[in-house]
Amino acid sequence: MRPLIVFAACLAVAPFALAQQSLFQSSDGQSSVYLRQSSATFNLGDSKASIGYVNRVNIKKTFWGFEGYATANSGVTSLFSSDKPKAPEGGGDFTVGRHFVLVPMPVAGVKAKAREDWWLIDVGYGHSSFYLYPKGSTPEANTPKTNFDRFRAIAAYNYFTSGNLIAGIAAGAERRNNLSDLTSVSLATVIVPAPTGSQTSIEKTQAGYYGNYKEYIAAPIYTDILFYPGKASVPAFGNRLGIDFFSRSDVAAANRSSSGGLGIFMFKKEDPLTPIGGISASFNGTKVQLALTVGFAFAKSN
């Protein structure tokens, strides 16, 4: 029920907001493919809803955009794996980039080999706050919330060719925490103790995270290869399908990790560049994680 409410809220704000940078998200909500569609999305795997806007004029190589996002806590994701705890977070990204970097802009009226490329810089900030109960210390009811400020700067390059392939690579730096490695717990404080002869008491609970908390600088590297197999489409509906082969790595020494996976995405009818949803599976060597992404693409009304 809760994801539906969040998604409904996402749709409700759609007419006022504008676009999202990329729907090709794995379960961690990341991608290296930045498409140009206006959309709002909800990633069930990452419990992330986002809306944004991209400003793009065909004869101007430079473009820019922004995105606002909010993540729910881990309760939303129980259906699609991700039993990792996550604190609610809100934030935004600003993107600036250029099209036709290494390949020339086509000449009007001249049929040539289809190629297009674009690079961009994606700078983002997110804020979250949560209760932390470190290992080895006595938990207290009046523990103040811990605040975390996430900063990130990612550079990405995308290349479209042959009418059926979009490849992307993104690399940068991001300030992260290890909250997803901690244990989600509830601190219970007895308000009214159980009377003699009764086992019923009144308790106040406070959700938080237990473990050795740390913050670190990650160096993420993401790659995606989005392939459109022939004219493959959803039977009876006709929506085109795309297959996304992806990898997600962190090459910083502090928390080195790597995972790879496969996603199948469905596109708007007659517009195979506007994804409306997808499912992806990633494997990090020990565990398979599934994610369902749904999107709502819309155009700004002038």
Residues that bind another protein (CB under 8 A): 36-38, 54, 56-60, 99-100, 105-116, 160-164, 228, 231, 240, 268, 270-274, 297-300, 302
Chain center to CA of 52: 13
Closer to another protein by CB, 58 or 199: give it.
58
Closer to another protein by CB, 150 or 269: give it.
269
Contacts of 121 (CB under 8 A, 6+ apart): 95, 96, 97, 153, 154, 155, 156
Q: How far apart are CA 98 and CA 104, in angstroms?
A: 12
- To another protein, the closest distance from the beta carbon of 294 in angstroms equals 18
Closer to another protein by CB, 163 or 193: give it.
163
- To another protein, the closest distance from the beta carbon of 29 in angstroms equals 23
Reading the block at residue 216, the tokens are: 């670190």
- To another protein, the closest distance from the beta carbon of 160 in angstroms equals 6
Match 């979250």 to its residue by tokens: 128
Instruction: Annotate 65-95 with b (16+ C-beta within 10 A) or e (fewer).
Output: bbbbbbbbbbebbeebbbeebbbebebebeb
Closer to another protein by CB, 100 or 283: give it.
100
Closer to another protein by CB, 231 or 287: give it.
231
Main-chain dihedrals φ then ψ at residue 77, nearest 5 degrees: -95, 10
Match 């977070």 to its residue by tokens: 89
- To another protein, the closest distance from the beta carbon of 36 in angstroms equals 6
- To another protein, the closest distance from the beta carbon of 240 in angstroms equals 7
